Amino acid sequence: MNSASKNCVDDLDISNFEIKILTEEYVEQVAMALAVVFALEEPLAIGTKTSVEAYYPYALGYIERCAKAKLSHIAVEKSTNKAVGFHLCFDSDGWVEPPSDDEGILLHLRFLDDLHAKYEEEQQKLHFGKSSTTTSHNVKKIYKICSAGTYKEYRRLGLAKQMFQEAVKLAKEKGYEQIMVECTGYASQRLYEKLGFRELTRLYYENYEIVDTVNQNGTSVERKRKPFVTIPKDIADSTNLMVMDI
């Protein structure tokens, strides 16, 4: 960003923006915002060195699904109609990841699946021996925060807080009882803890190992690796699963 553009951003305050429901009109803009923010700053993407170019096709399918659901919010600059922030949400039971052939993104999705599997396993152990009628009463309608972010130059204006507040309001209107989020770094974990979320489970990058096979001269060879140990320790050491009752 040149100095003139930076000065223009510095002159802005929250009154220069509108929080809107994500619609099809903004799909490409928000897909690019998601790709840029996550490829450059999200710990899992940093760990796998996933580029903006690799992230964008996946992000496009992701945003298209969120736009159809009408459960997500964006921050739009009034003067330019530019989407500068996003708070992407979906019904937890209805979310299906869009397809991707990028190895880094597939690793991200596998890791998050294993995080949820860890939680489910812990819950099964916790409720072992209890009747099905006892545990069935604990099932809640969950509003899932899939991704949230703002372009770096538009931060500290209160946009993220306002998008979150609108999301909580919408979730209550739609009859949701709980909000869920996966936090992949220290910053997001601290933020959602301050907002009233509590941790359900956590998966450490240092301990996460996957086993797959690679082809070597026509032979399948087992490979063990820890794909996220390269994440800088000063930004993250784990992902946690958090919820807040509403």
pLDDT digits (tens, 9 = 90+) for 107-122: 999 999 999 999 999 9
User: Average pLDDT, stretch 149-165?
Assistant: 96
Token pair listed for 121? 């396993």
Cα distance between residue 50 and residue 71, in whole Å: 27
Token pair listed for 157? 């204006």
Q: What predicted TM-score, i.e. pTM, was given to this entire model?
A: 0.88
User: Average pLDDT, stretch 8-30?
Assistant: 91
Residue that is written with structure tokens 């929080």 in the block: 19
> Residue 137: how many CA atoms within 13 Å on its side-chain side?
4
Using alpha carbons only, what angle is made at residue 221 by residues 217 and 223, rounded to the nearest 5 degrees? 130
Q: What percent of the chain has pLDDT over 70?
A: 92
- Residue 220, pLDDT > 90, answer no
Secondary structure (H, E, C), the chain: CCHHHHHHHHCCCHHHEEEEECCHHHHHHHHHHHHHHHHHHCHHHHHHCCCHHHHHHHHHHHHHHHHHHCCCEEEEECCCCEEEEEEEEEECCCCCCCCCCCHHHHHHHHHHHHHHHHHHHHHHHHCCCCCHHHHHCCCCCEEEEEEEEECHHHCCCCHHHHHHHHHHHHHHHCCCCEEEEEECCHHHHHHHHHCCCEEEEEEECCCCCEEEEEEECCEEEEEEECCCCCCCCCCCCEEEEEEEEC
Cα distance between residue 59 and residue 48, in whole Å: 16
Q: For residue 246, with 0-12 CB atoms within 10 Å meaning exposed, 13-18 middle and 19 or more buried, which class applies?
A: middle
pLDDT-based confidence at residue 136 (cuts at 50, 70, 90): very low
Which residue has better confidence, 35 or 128? Answer: 35
pLDDT at 129: 59
pLDDT-based confidence at residue 177 (cuts at 50, 70, 90): very high
Residue that is written with structure tokens 């009463």 in the block: 137
pLDDT-based confidence at residue 8 (cuts at 50, 70, 90): low
pLDDT at 49: 97
pLDDT-based confidence at residue 232 (cuts at 50, 70, 90): very high
